[in-house]
């Protein structure tokens, strides 16, 4: 099967396709991200071969090791107090410093493309940050951030579907809710963790992960997803690899999204994952 649209996220759909067709093996071809695909394929107890396409040549893909995320720069971290003063939650993912409100990125520390100066930009995504700067350039950054935080908090609520702010990256909203109430899924605590690979952008839907503790002290990798996402299982395998000492992997999603093929894929892992219905409607 040839991976075309987003090779890094092609393994789950390809594996589901192969299982439904009754084939006994999967050969996945891609022009990029083959190292990530090969690493995730190795987590399954099923014959999966990943091939790197180079012109008319097929080369066996070499699994790319999962490496620690790069550190953030000190001059970027220096703006973390401003993010907190503006009411957002400071977050660092793969060296990027930004602020979130209930899982939605509302500001980011960036370098000025012309001067190289470090500054805090307010907005949801790069285009929104640019538009916000044009419209509100005379408003102090912390004050501007407080306005955005208030607006996002008002609409980013469980069960609210009529506003775009409530529909963006719902899996991160789900994770935030579980962090507030880990007992709702039987955990004593839950803390968000960095994704195993960087997110393409602030608005793209992609599973997210957290590290939880059971009442008896066990460590659990929790992967949150909203919508039927066949790539959530390969993602969960990567998240489990990143947390080497975790004893279990749970995939949490709305019950409507825990479809039979997802359950089947979780059982194909070397270390099968547990499917957990989300306690709230997202």
Q: What is the mean pLDDT of residues 218-239?
A: 96
**Does the global pTM surpass 0.85?**
yes
Q: Which residue ranges make up each domain of the chain?
A: 7-60, 74-155, 170-277
Closest CA to 19 of 39, 43, 48: 48
pLDDT (tens digit per residue) in 127-185: 667 666 655 565 668 998 999 999 899 888 766 667 788 888 999 999 999 999 999 99
Question: 79 with 107: CB under 8 angstroms?
Answer: no
pLDDT of residue 140: 65
- Classify domain 170-277 at the CATH topology level: Trna Endonuclease; Chain: A, domain 1 (3.40.1350)
Q: DSSP strand E in the chain: where?
A: 26-30, 48-54, 57-60, 89-93, 96-101, 104-111, 118-122, 189-193, 208-213, 219-224, 248-253, 274-277
């Amino acid at each position: 099967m040839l991976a075309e649209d987003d090779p890094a996220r092609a393994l789950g759909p390809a594996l589901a396709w192969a299982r439904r067709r009754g084939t006994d093996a999967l050969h996945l071809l891609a022009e990029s991200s083959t190292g990530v695909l090969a690493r995730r394929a190795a987590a399954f107890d099923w014959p999966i071969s990943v091939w790197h396409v180079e012109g008319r040549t097929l080369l066996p893909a070499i699994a790319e090791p999962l490496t620690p995320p790069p550190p953030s720069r000190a001059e970027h971290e220096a703006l973390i107090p401003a993010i907190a003063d503006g009411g957002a939650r400071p977050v660092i993912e793969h060296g990027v410093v930004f602020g979130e409100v209930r899982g939605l990125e509302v500001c980011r520390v960036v370098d000025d493309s012309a001067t190289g100066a470090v500054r805090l930009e307010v907005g949801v995504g790069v285009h929104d940050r640019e538009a916000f700067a044009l419209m509100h350039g005379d408003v102090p950054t912390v004050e501007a951030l407080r306005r955005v935080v208030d607006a996002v908090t008002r609409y980013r609520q469980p069960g609210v579907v009529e506003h775009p702010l409530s529909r963006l990256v719902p899996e991160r909203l789900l994770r935030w809710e579980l962090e507030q109430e880990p007992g709702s899924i039987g955990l004593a605590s839950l803390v968000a963790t960095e994704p195993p690979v960087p997110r393409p952008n602030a608005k793209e839907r992609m599973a997210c992960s957290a590290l939880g503790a059971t009442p008896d002290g066990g460590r659990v990798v929790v992967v949150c997803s909203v919508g039927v996402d066949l790539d959530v299982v390969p993602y969960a395998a990567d998240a489990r690899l990143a947390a080497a000492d975790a004893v279990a992997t749970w995939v949490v999603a709305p019950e409507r999204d825990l479809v039979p093929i997802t359950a089947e894929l979780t059982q194909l892992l070397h270390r099968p994952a547990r499917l957990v219905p989300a306690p709230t409607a997202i």
